[in-house]
Structure 1
Amino acid sequence: MSLTTTTTLTGKDTLGASVPPFTAHAISVSLPTWQDNVGYEEGDKRVVDVMVSGYPRFFIHLSIQKLARICEQKFGVNGERCLLCPTHKVAEDCRAFMIDRSTKAGSPIPVRLVQFLLCPEDESVPNAANMCIELHIVLFPSDSFPLAKQFWQHTGLGISSRRAERCLSMLRDGDDAPGSPPPSFSRPPPKKSNRHYSTKSIGRSPPASPVAPIHEGHDMDAVDEVLSADQSVYVEERYGRNLPLGSAAAAKRALRRRIAGVLVRDSPNNWSVAGGQEAELGPSTRGVDGVSESDVFLYPTGMAAIWCAHQMALNTLPAAKSICFGFPYTDTLKTLEKWGPGCHHLGHGLDESIDELEQILERDAANSSSPPALSLFTEFPSNPLLRSPNLPRLRALADKYDFLLVVDETIGNFVNVEVLPYADIVVSSLSKVFSGDANVMGGSLVLNPKGRHYAALKANLTQTYEDCYFDEDAIYMERNSRDFKRRIEVIDDNTLAVCSLLRSRSLADPSTLGRAVIKDVLYPKWATHENYERCRVPTGGYGGLFSILFTSVAASHAFYDTLPCYKGPSLGTNFTLASPYTILAHYAELEWAAGWGVEETLVRVSVGMEDRETLLHAFETALQAAEAAAAEISS
């Protein structure tokens, strides 16, 4: 069960705890100081030994670890380790990747696959056969686990923690691997009553998730009680929070309609029919005529949507290098580099980078009769520099040289920006602001029905697409996303207020006279402003993400350590979440990242829904600490 609470834990005591707290399937982890983040990257036992959660593609959930140990005991030989996949095709892709990469490194490693069917122990349970789960196990020598972990991280196609827990619940007594520790979620003790679940809420949508206060302290009265798996299902369904587990198909249909923008009415008052046949559908609000729910495909993670978009390009168009435009999320670049012929990386993502791209395309087109590029992947705006590419110019090049334009709209989100008219494919991480609660992963891919390659892409997806989005995850994603438009508007306004405060105290403001500790505030309102405005919808804002560059290491560390909010990986949460992004994403390549403007001192902030004055006070406190640290160094 995953319930957002209003409990805030700050300081060193929170190290390694789940974010949100007391959340079994949290997708972030508390790393409250700069040194904690360094310790995590260096494998410091002080940090890693206390972690009970983490971002799921980097930290394998404890329930998945336990299930993997059981599978290794049951099916492994000679100390083999394993990776757990939801389908046979994903397992085959994992094996192919491991063999290909190990062969290029010198010697292919042996990789074998096992299919494991788990069914409820009590066969008298109604529809027991329909509750069975296939688990596809990839087994390999133990010293090859880092290579397998690359597949897990780059593709986002490993099993989810909820799928693992469902599998564990169907294992018979005695199947547990010796020494397998039970998952620990750092939950609070039970309490006698729960004011969140009153009979008045029956038949209505849930209230907005409680927002974590940005100040220190504990509000234990608001902590949700700990429930067993059966109890949690009852509570979620009985009191209007989740659709029934048997309605997963309707939940997925509601998600596809929400993302396609075709629901005439999609509000907390009519969420229960959003995926039903009686839902009123209309023209899409995505800026392209003819978009329908059949053009939307769901994936277990945003990275899975990106990886599958790349695979679709490789399977549909003539072989050629891809293009990574702008400084991307790290695994997007790794995917383009490790699958297919490789890629050109134009990491600055500015208009002058398009001039460079034109030269590359013109040169390669002159040397071959085939198109000079397979596809171009870009983010709008980018993470963490918040730069927006010139999509009209990129679209013109894609048309001229016949390659696909794939846009990741996760940071901008379609409430704020309209990018589908320029793209062949739009991908997004639903785990971020679309969900907001940071307790479930998900991703989406949208095809542009007006794109020149639409027919070929749709045919390929129709033939190859596998729905491996676990039903329970889809149920939670549907619940979380019911009010995403309202939440985005609040987050947009809060972020603009915070960024305006910080920029007024930065070197970007002439009134500071060079005395500021903030070098710049990276935010779409100011970074590549014209490019962002071309795609901003009339009522749209600038999103909830920004980054800060500091004039000194001391100021950066002091700001981060003092800022009184949750600190850990991920973004787009309903609560404010900060991280020293370059340390977490590029610790082994700091010099390379700095070459693209992603400095070591960069602090990335995802603003939440807290009271605006409380937020401003919190950032003012952190800024004063940074100024004091800088003054102490200079004195």
Structure 2
Amino acid sequence: MVLQNEQQHTLGMPVPPFTAHAISVSLPTWEDNVGYEEGEKRVVDVMVSGYPRFFIHLSIQKLARICEQKFGALGERSLLCPTRRIAEQCREFMIDRSAKAGSPIPVRLVQFTICPEDDETSTPCRELHIVLFPGDQFPLAKQFWQHTGLCISSRLAERCLSMLHEEVGSPKAPVLAPGRPPVKPGNRHYSAKSIGKSPPTSPTLAHTPFGRRLAEQAPELLSKDHDTYVEERYGRNMPPESAAAAKRAMRRRIAGVLVRDAPSDWSTAGGHEAELGPSTRGVEGVTEGDVFLFATGMSAIWKAHQLALATRPAGKSVCFGFPYTDTLKILEKWGPGCHFFGHGLDKDIDDLEKLLEKESQLSTDPPILSLFTEFPSNPLLRAADLPRLRKLADKYNFLIVVDETIGNFVNVEVLPYADIVVSSLSKVFSGDANVMGGSLVLNPQGRYYPALKAHMAAHYEDSYFDEDAIYMERNSRDFRRRIHTIDANTLAVCTFLRSRSLADPHPPAHAAVRDVYYPKWETAHNYDRCRVRGPDGTPVGGYGGLFSLTFTSAAASRAFFDTLPCMKGPSLGTNFTLACPYTILAHYAELDWAAEWGVSSDLVRVSVGLEERETLLKGIENALLAAEAVVEAESSATA
């Protein structure tokens, strides 16, 4: 109980703590997560951070208010975009969706160029493209922000504020302009949050160790020299003018062409002197030119869908397996629509094949546009039979897009079966949870590669903010080493939990865990087929750092989650262990629908970090004991 009280003091704080551009937020108890979704004042009034596509960073909010005051009419609100094309895409989305709902709304665009004063000639001007619309339409605009991840980053907002000589990280809460009615949509992800505090502006690499109270490290974190020390000792960022080299280094890492890519090689990874070799991605001919960077992982997914729409005959897409929520929304809201095979099991491929055969008899065009799948899926960690899907794609002429975020290319080799591979770099590639990013990789051996590459060459727009790229490059230098450690930690934790679950041949009398979802046991034959192998053909790729649990009672699930001595909040792939009641956060407005696809409302998702393994196991065991005690008490009460 002491630990729960300690966690409660972190409610609404950034995760990682004291990080200006943190991409998660502390929601330490089950009740806090429900309160967030229901918009409880107790929760939303203390939130100073959140996942960037769901929660608009305070600096972005402040810059938006300045733009609304400068360019907006009474009652108008805004979204801020880094390029004109993205602003136009936002306007098109809002007009299209509002027209389908009844009548199109007025949306206008304004370009705002912000330049430094004369004595700051080394700092370039920045362009903002402002999308203005009636204030009551903000939830619709927020859908574009959430689904596409294309709007401006918090670092770009702070750069603009500094050139406008506005204080960054103001502690004042946002003030609604006159005429702005309050909005309370059904899903809190689409709403504006009321904010009361601001995190400090200097990013740190500090994380709370597993089971260690935040109060114990606060003096260290708040030391005035701490940020400087961290950056000088551990950061070694490239200078701002080296952003192009930072992006080149990341594209080479993702392409797998760097012959030497260790933290000690950081200064040459993006330079012309870097030694390049054949790709390690399992496909001949992959180069950095086949890798494209985006502001977020969802931007890469959205672009992959746009790329398919632009280069192939019109048709519905297929979403194979239960995906992260916004992937399905993208396929449903842009283009002709989507066929959903939510279980993602081998028998669903039988049904897919029947659909393809039926549709192919009705038209000479391909029966579908593309198939999107995660490898493995989030949160059920299922892996599709990619070789079989590839055969169907070749037979029926559709694209395959694989999201490898959770498996990651250190562990699995999916590019040979895909036309496009996408990933959220915000996750384990970064690890530090202080910057967003995404990637899209084209398969140069794919049938449609010439058309895809030509379209990207003509239309790709690099809107990834330079400072974000510099942080991402720094964070990713040791991603391979981190992944191997995280894989080993997670396997140990999952093996322990499964031994105490109903899946074990001899479960404990008061078992609290019903199922452990982890690729080692979920559709293992499909996952193992794609594991990275060593020179002798032996699998060397691990099973990843993410797993999910379901429980024998709802009360046991809550007890386990509330007792876990780790960070609690959205996101995954962090260097520190991070947990959330996933279905509550992602599908609170559609719990019954999620349950139809096997995603239980009591599901707890855990992303394992780099902590010392024995400490991890002890913390997990304590949480499990709390859950088992609840089950025993429930059993006694009904006896």
SS in 1 for 2:634: helix
1:378 to 369, 373, 377: 373
| 1:137 Cα offset (Å) | 0.3
**What is aligned with 1:553?**
554
| 1:220 Cα offset (Å) | 3.6
| 1:418 Cα offset (Å) | 0.3
Q: Deviations over 1:130-178 (max 9, x none)?
A: x110000000000000000000000000100000000100114699999
Q: Deviations over 1:92-134 (max 9, x none)?
A: 00000000000000010000000000011x2132334xx1100
Tell me, in whole angstroms, the C-alpha distance in 2 between the residues paired with 1:67 and 1:410: 31
| 1:88 Cα offset (Å) | 0.2
Answering whether residue 573 of structure 2 is matched by residue 575 of structure 1, we say no
Going from structure 1 to structure 2, the CA distance change for 1:455 and 1:517 (only over 3 Å counts) comes to: same
| 1:213 Cα offset (Å) | 3.4
| 1:237 Cα offset (Å) | 6.9
- Whether the 8 Å contact between 1:211 and 1:610 is mirrored in structure 2 is no
**What is aligned with 1:5?**
none
Tell me, in whole angstroms, the C-alpha distance in 2 between the residues paired with 1:521 and 1:178: 44
Residue pairs, 1:28-67, within 5 angstroms: 28-67=24-63
**What is aligned with 1:213?**
210
| 1:221 Cα offset (Å) | 5.2
- Whether the 8 Å contact between 2:82 and 2:152 is mirrored in structure 1 is yes
SS in 2 for 1:489: helix
Greater Cα offset, 275-284 or 211-220: 211-220
Paired AA for residue 423 in structure 1: A
Paired AA for residue 266 in structure 2: W
**What is aligned with 2:111?**
115
Residue pairs, 1:66-81, within 5 angstroms: 66-81=62-77
| 1:264 Cα offset (Å) | 0.3
| 1:512 Cα offset (Å) | 1.0
| 1:30 Cα offset (Å) | 0.3
**What is aligned with 2:147?**
154
- Whether the 8 Å contact between 2:45 and 2:196 is mirrored in structure 1 is no
Going from structure 1 to structure 2, the CA distance change for 1:502 and 1:337 (only over 3 Å counts) comes to: same
Paired AA for residue 161 in structure 1: S
Tell me, in whole angstroms, the C-alpha distance in 1 between the residues paired with 2:139 and 2:517: 34
Answering whether residue 501 of structure 2 is matched by residue 500 of structure 1, we say no
- Whether the 8 Å contact between 2:60 and 2:154 is mirrored in structure 1 is yes
SS in 2 for 1:102: helix
Answering whether residue 217 of structure 2 is matched by residue 254 of structure 1, we say no
Answering whether residue 239 of structure 2 is matched by residue 244 of structure 1, we say yes
Going from structure 1 to structure 2, the CA distance change for 1:224 and 1:433 (only over 3 Å counts) comes to: farther
Tell me, in whole angstroms, the C-alpha distance in 1 between the residues paired with 2:547 and 2:610: 15
**What is aligned with 1:521?**
516
SS in 2 for 1:548: strand
- Whether the 8 Å contact between 1:211 and 1:574 is mirrored in structure 2 is no
| 1:78 Cα offset (Å) | 1.9
Tell me, in whole angstroms, the C-alpha distance in 2 between the residues paired with 1:142 and 1:174: 25
SS in 2 for 1:400: helix
Answering whether residue 136 of structure 2 is matched by residue 143 of structure 1, we say yes
**What is aligned with 1:323?**
318
- Whether the 8 Å contact between 1:214 and 1:610 is mirrored in structure 2 is no
Paired AA for residue 548 in structure 2: S
Answering whether residue 262 of structure 2 is matched by residue 267 of structure 1, we say yes
- Whether the 8 Å contact between 1:10 and 1:32 is mirrored in structure 2 is no
| 1:630 Cα offset (Å) | 1.6
Going from structure 1 to structure 2, the CA distance change for 1:160 and 1:240 (only over 3 Å counts) comes to: closer
RMSD: 2.3
Given the two structures, how large is their TM-score scaled by the length of structure 1?
Answer: 0.92
**What is aligned with 1:201?**
none
**What is aligned with 1:419?**
414
Tell me, in whole angstroms, the C-alpha distance in 1 between the residues paired with 2:167 and 2:500: 62
Paired AA for residue 320 in structure 2: F
SS in 1 for 2:278: coil
Going from structure 1 to structure 2, the CA distance change for 1:522 and 1:239 (only over 3 Å counts) comes to: closer
- Whether the 8 Å contact between 1:15 and 1:51 is mirrored in structure 2 is yes
- Whether the 8 Å contact between 2:171 and 2:196 is mirrored in structure 1 is no
Paired AA for residue 18 in structure 2: F
SS in 1 for 2:559: helix
Structure 1: 4+ residue segments shifted above 3 A? 172-188, 208-211, 224-228, 234-240
Answering whether residue 382 of structure 2 is matched by residue 387 of structure 1, we say yes
Tell me, in whole angstroms, the C-alpha distance in 2 between the residues paired with 1:279 and 1:9: 51
Answering whether residue 336 of structure 2 is matched by residue 341 of structure 1, we say yes
Paired AA for residue 591 in structure 1: D
- Whether the 8 Å contact between 2:435 and 2:468 is mirrored in structure 1 is yes
Answering whether residue 397 of structure 2 is matched by residue 402 of structure 1, we say yes
Tell me how many residue pairs correspond in the alignment. 605
- Whether the 8 Å contact between 1:250 and 1:275 is mirrored in structure 2 is yes
Going from structure 1 to structure 2, the CA distance change for 1:579 and 1:174 (only over 3 Å counts) comes to: closer
**What is aligned with 1:428?**
423
Tell me, in whole angstroms, the C-alpha distance in 1 between the residues paired with 2:575 and 2:592: 33
| 1:436 Cα offset (Å) | 0.2
Tell me, in whole angstroms, the C-alpha distance in 2 between the residues paired with 1:185 and 1:435: 23
Tell me, in whole angstroms, the C-alpha distance in 1 between the residues paired with 2:44 and 2:291: 38
Tell me, in whole angstroms, the C-alpha distance in 2 between the residues paired with 1:140 and 1:468: 23
Query: What stretches of structure 1 of length at least 5 have no aligned partner?
Result: 1-7, 191-195, 197-207
Paired AA for residue 250 in structure 2: L
- Whether the 8 Å contact between 2:208 and 2:567 is mirrored in structure 1 is no
- Whether the 8 Å contact between 1:430 and 1:442 is mirrored in structure 2 is yes
Paired AA for residue 449 in structure 1: P
Tell me, in whole angstroms, the C-alpha distance in 2 between the residues paired with 1:174 and 1:533: 52
SS in 2 for 1:539: coil
- Whether the 8 Å contact between 1:55 and 1:570 is mirrored in structure 2 is yes
Q: Deviations over 1:566-585 (max 9, x none)?
A: 00000000000000000000
| 1:562 Cα offset (Å) | 0.5
Tell me, in whole angstroms, the C-alpha distance in 1 between the residues paired with 2:225 and 2:405: 33
**What is aligned with 1:169?**
162
| 1:79 Cα offset (Å) | 1.1
**What is aligned with 1:614?**
615
- Whether the 8 Å contact between 1:9 and 1:218 is mirrored in structure 2 is no
Tell me, in whole angstroms, the C-alpha distance in 1 between the residues paired with 2:48 and 2:225: 19
- Whether the 8 Å contact between 1:21 and 1:187 is mirrored in structure 2 is no
Going from structure 1 to structure 2, the CA distance change for 1:609 and 1:293 (only over 3 Å counts) comes to: same
Paired AA for residue 52 in structure 1: V
Answering whether residue 491 of structure 2 is matched by residue 483 of structure 1, we say no
- Whether the 8 Å contact between 1:10 and 1:565 is mirrored in structure 2 is no
Tell me, in whole angstroms, the C-alpha distance in 1 between the residues paired with 2:295 and 2:421: 16
| 1:629 Cα offset (Å) | 1.2
- Whether the 8 Å contact between 1:115 and 1:136 is mirrored in structure 2 is yes
| 1:241 Cα offset (Å) | 1.9
Tell me, in whole angstroms, the C-alpha distance in 2 between the residues paired with 1:237 and 1:305: 32
| 1:183 Cα offset (Å) | 8.7
- Whether the 8 Å contact between 1:556 and 1:626 is mirrored in structure 2 is yes
Q: Deviations over 1:453-477 (max 9, x none)?
A: 0000000011111000000000000
SS in 1 for 2:97: helix
Paired AA for residue 528 in structure 1: T
- Whether the 8 Å contact between 1:305 and 1:443 is mirrored in structure 2 is yes
Tell me, in whole angstroms, the C-alpha distance in 2 between the residues paired with 1:258 and 1:183: 40
Tell me, in whole angstroms, the C-alpha distance in 2 between the residues paired with 1:337 and 1:514: 45
- Whether the 8 Å contact between 1:299 and 1:467 is mirrored in structure 2 is yes
**What is aligned with 1:310?**
305
State the identity as a percent. 72
Query: What stretches of structure 2 of length at least 5 have no aligned partner?
Result: 176-194, 533-538
Answering whether residue 91 of structure 2 is matched by residue 95 of structure 1, we say yes
Paired AA for residue 579 in structure 1: C
